Structure 1
């Protein structure tokens, strides 16, 4: 379909139910009209994110670097997804990866920061704490716009599921390489994004901070998979009803 120069292929509001596409149409439309501003904001957030992770990069073996900057990679994917769409070259794989990454880490980060808010504010200050919470919730918002520029086809969902399952596994479940033994593949503690408190700190009963963080990550990953498959099925049903 035609479009104005630089605005991407025209995309109409879909008829997805509100639980699958909770943003008002006006918000989705605004985001797509201001697509290059959205791209610029994501690139700025990506640059800030890599700077923010500089200390963790310094303490992490090089082989594990792809698993460190979760949020900056997600915003970089979002920038790429929106830019490719605006240029008329939308890519299913990039868009669905962006959907997963922005939804998962846009939810996980506020979850961890709010659960451990007192320590987070003490460590980073109220301004940085608030900025991190709000900016990551913004990632959720943009993730929920991506159904407008993607069909969420099964191969793309499969790739995104595989990558973020691997990411989840290396963060919380499968020891690979850790700072205790940076020279080799040994059965050390799982590598994962830093959290505001020691990961073995007891939160309630025998539940540790590490387990609380893992709960948020697992729940967000399941939600991303559920929504992506639901959107795909709903789009297929809509297409069938029109044919």
Structure 2
């Protein structure tokens, strides 16, 4: 056993003493669909309740962030991007809070033995897409200006952690084709209305500090908008490929 595997095994054993629920067996999926070491998957699954709670608290913070209130509790309580949009557009705007909600509820559903494959896929897609889209936007397009430095790095690191969470889901979800289709529809629809076919006073992608503020809103004709859109579409395609590839690898092992 490699030294790091030995350390990982000891960490897993230590966590198991406090969180001892039986876990789904590892299926030996290839690294391109299951990149985390088994011991880390085990630790993540053993800590499903705390991780779900952190994600759901993150959802509340995310809605607060989109309401433009991360450091301010004085009324009015809804400003920012949510305050500038019609109520009907709210489901289309807070993408990262929705993703943390999906993965949090996915973990809860698994622990309660609820069979909700579409929820697991929304969690998988959301964590892959927003977990990698936000760090790219912050590091490459926005930069640290305009928000507190601690918040800048919190956004980057917390979203990268979301991307890792996605690779817990294959241990308990079937990755059925229908559930993948649900996630493709939702996140594909989001890409369309966020960047290409604005509805309800859109576009509704997360405001980019790299887009200049002009009369009537942000200037969506700049290169930053196109780069954010392109990366969003790439990540939707990547999540689709990984989900279907995971399904194929699972079916192979069931044959």
| TM-score of Structure 1 vs Structure 2, range by shorter chain | 0.7 to 0.9
Does residue 107 (structure 1) correspond to residue 126 (structure 2)? The answer is no
Structure 2 counterparts to residues 1-243 of structure 1, below 5 A: 10-54=23-67, 55-118=80-143, 121-178=144-201, 190-198=203-211, 208-240=223-255
Deviation of 1:124 after TM superposition, in Å, equals: 0.8
Contact 1:7/1:87, CA 8 A, preserved across alignment: no
C-alpha distance in structure 2 between counterparts of 1:191 and 1:159, whole Å: 21
Q: How many residues align?
A: 220
Structure 1: unaligned runs, 5 residues or longer? 1-5, 179-188
C-alpha distance in structure 2 between counterparts of 1:232 and 1:168, whole Å: 24
Contact 2:211/2:222, CA 8 A, preserved across alignment: no
- Alpha carbon RMSD of aligned pairs, Å? 2.0
Q: Tell me: CA distance 1:48–1:36, structure 2 relative to 1, closer, same or farther (3 Å).
A: same
* TM-score using structure 1 length: 0.85
Deviation of 1:223 after TM superposition, in Å, equals: 0.5
C-alpha distance in structure 2 between counterparts of 1:176 and 1:124, whole Å: 28
1:193-218, Cα deviation, whole Å (9 max, x unpaired): 111211699xxxx9711001011101
Structure 2: unaligned runs, 5 residues or longer? 1-18, 68-79, 215-220
Contact 1:199/1:209, CA 8 A, preserved across alignment: no
Q: Which runs of 4+ in 1 moved over 2 A?
A: 6-10
C-alpha distance in structure 2 between counterparts of 1:7 and 1:162, whole Å: 37
C-alpha distance in structure 2 between counterparts of 1:236 and 1:43, whole Å: 32
1:48-97, Cα deviation, whole Å (9 max, x unpaired): 10100001110011121111110111111111110111112142111011
Q: Tell me: CA distance 1:99–1:112, structure 2 relative to 1, closer, same or farther (3 Å).
A: same
* TM-score using structure 2 length: 0.81
1:156-194, Cα deviation, whole Å (9 max, x unpaired): 00111111110110001112122xxxxxxxxxx633211
Contact 1:8/1:87, CA 8 A, preserved across alignment: no
